A and B are shown apart, each in its own frame.
Chain A
């Protein structure tokens, strides 16, 4: 907010010096001015080696907070997994069925495969269901705090049930 006010004030100063002639700009060009400000902020503060105020180490963790970072965590993990799979497909000599048979022939019990399916399905399910929750927020729905918690618990419940269901298939 202060950033916005300072940028507008600067614009006002420029206009009074009539550099822009007749063209009056009512809208604040947030694109470059804000980015410049932010870069200047980070450059100055990292150069001065200023400590960052403790936030995640002192602020009480809440379910919405944990679900939010988990959404990011599962997203990054899944993306990395896809990339590893894709690069492996390019690099490994044999075909997919060959490697599947290789894993299948290894002396793991059925519990191992069931657990592995659960471990694969869980982040996919969580990210998908929480993604739907995010899309609901993007439509403007469900921002009241009780609603945030309720939708959060529903996402967790659906994730667990879906993962168990998929692992059992």
Chain B
């Protein structure tokens, strides 16, 4: 048992050394980051799906701010994928990504401002539908 554990610890350390050795050349760490990003996108999508019925059933300020965050991030990552598909060349990609980051930040700020100073997202949709 002890030998198994020590073997596993040795293997982990060995992998970590290799990873840091390769990390400076953007080797394994870059594709690992991309993989985590992909998973994060899917997890966020599921979370956002769950927020829709929640917003209808129990509107609340906490949900308002959560939706603001989840919605903006989902859109930000989504537009990021569109950029990756259609924009090529280091300089253009950098510029496009910076612009989208600016827009997403402003959007998040605007939504939070709306949640704080105005009726909030859940109430806003409810009011719009009663028109």
Contact = CB atoms under 8 A, between A and B. Distances in A.
A82 B31 contact: no
Contact of B107 (A82, A95, A135): A82
A73 B111 CA distance: 22
B111 A29 contact: no
Nearest to B124: A96
Given A30-B31, A75-B78, A135-B46, A86 B106 contact: yes
A154 interface: no
A89 interface: yes
A43 B89 contact: yes
Interface in A77-101: 78-79, 82-83, 85-90, 95-97, 100
Nearest to A30: B31
A86 B107 CA distance: 5
Interface string B47-80: 0010010000000000000000001100100110
Contacts of A86: 106-111, 113-114
Nearest to A29: B27
A104 B82 contact: no
A128 B88 contact: no
B123 to A, nearest CB: 9
A104 B25 CA distance: 60
Interface of B: 21-22, 25-31, 34, 42, 45-46, 49, 52, 71-72, 75, 78-79, 82, 88-90, 103, 106-111, 113-114, 117-119, 124, 127-129, 131
17 contacts: A25-B22, A29-B30, A46-B88, A76-B82, A82-B111, A85-B111, A86-B108, A86-B110, A86-B113, A90-B113, A95-B119, A96-B119, A100-B131, A128-B49, A135-B45, A135-B46, A166-B129
Interface of A: 23, 25, 27, 29-32, 38-39, 42-43, 46, 72, 75-76, 78-79, 82-83, 85-90, 95-97, 100, 103-104, 113, 117, 128, 131-132, 135, 138, 166, 169
